[in-house]
């Protein structure tokens, strides 16, 4: 029996209802629609003309939603080759001119991307959704993401958001970023830093 393709849709904006293909659930976990809706309700008009970075790209559903709602460009880092192919295809189908898709380790590549955007006038929003399941080499993934954020020096980073397991309490501060909002959605939560 042929396996059904997993998909989601863009919720709102200029690409509303466009289909996003999802990697299989063994590879990645898609952000819940209710969580995505809440995140973009918080951002509202603050998303317009920003540079949006999705640190662990997966299907690209958050970054593509950001473009649909007015972000000027989106950057995606994805390490898994299968997920990268799906992510690349989703970006090509929705807004290839505004997407930069990198097949790379987030911890190695993201600092370079952030540094390259230092002198840009637009604000940068960084969305970090590390894998929840601790696969090989992933057991210290949250500590590594905290270090990553602590080392951000750009003045144009306006927001850093973590999607994480609800059971995990994130630090009050990460470098110059302070926690200002937290919202729970069952097993997943969002923690916001400015």
Find the helix packing angle between 106-116 and 141-150, rounded to 10°: 20
Q: What digits encode the pLDDT tens for the residues 126-147?
A: 999 998 655 444 568 899 999 9
Can you give the pLDDT at residue 107? 95
Looking at residue 176, its pLDDT comes to 96
Cα–Cα distance, 49 to 93 (Å, whole number): 21
What pLDDT is stored for residue 135 in this prediction? 47
Q: Which percentage of the chain shows pLDDT scores above 90?
A: 82
Mean pLDDT, all residues of the chain: 91
Q: What is the pLDDT along the chain (194 residues), one digit of tens a residue?
A: 445 688 999 999 999 999 999 987 654 555 678 899 999 999 999 999 999 999 999 999 999 999 999 999 999 999 999 999 999 999 999 999 999 999 999 999 999 999 999 999 999 999 999 986 554 445 688 999 999 999 999 999 999 999 998 999 999 999 999 999 999 999 899 999 99
CA–CA dist 177, 62 (Å, integer): 21
Query: What pLDDT score was predicted for residue 26?
Result: 53
For helices 61-68 and 33-43, give the axis angle rounded to 10 degrees: 40
The reported pTM is 0.93
Domains and CATH numbers, the chain: 7-193 (3.40.50.150)
Say what the pLDDT of residue 54 is: 97
Condensed to tens digits (0 to 9), the pLDDT of residues 39-48 reads 999 999 999 9
Alpha-carbon distance 117 to 158, whole Å?
13
Per-residue tokens: 115: 């540094």
E-only strand ranges, 118-176: 124-128, 157-165, 173-174
pLDDT at 52: 98
Q: Helices 81-94 & 61-68, crossing angle to 10 degrees?
A: 10
């Amino acid at each position: 029996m042929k396996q059904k393709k997993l998909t989601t849709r863009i919720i709102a904006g200029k690409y509303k209802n466009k289909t996003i293909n999802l990697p299989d659930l063994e590879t990645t976990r898609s952000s819940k629609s209710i969580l995505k809706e809440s995140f973009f309700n918080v951002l509202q008009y603050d998303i317009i003309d920003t540079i949006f970075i999705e640190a662990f790209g997966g299907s690209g559903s958050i970054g593509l939603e950001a473009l649909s709602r007015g972000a000027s460009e989106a950057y995606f880092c994805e390490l898994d080759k299968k997920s990268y192919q799906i992510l690349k295809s989703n970006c090509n189908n929705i807004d290839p001119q505004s997407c930069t898709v990198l097949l790379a380790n987030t911890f190695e590549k993201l600092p370079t991307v952030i540094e390259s955007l230092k002198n840009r006038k637009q604000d940068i929003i960084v969305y970090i959704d590390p894998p929840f399941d601790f696969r090989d080499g992933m057991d210290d993934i949250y500590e590594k993401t905290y270090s990553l954020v602590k080392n951000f020096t750009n003045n144009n980073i306006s927001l850093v958001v973590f999607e994480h397991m609800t059971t995990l309490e994130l630090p009050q501060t990460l470098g110059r970023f302070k926690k200002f909002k937290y919202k729970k959605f069952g097993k997943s939560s969002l923690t916001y830093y400015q």
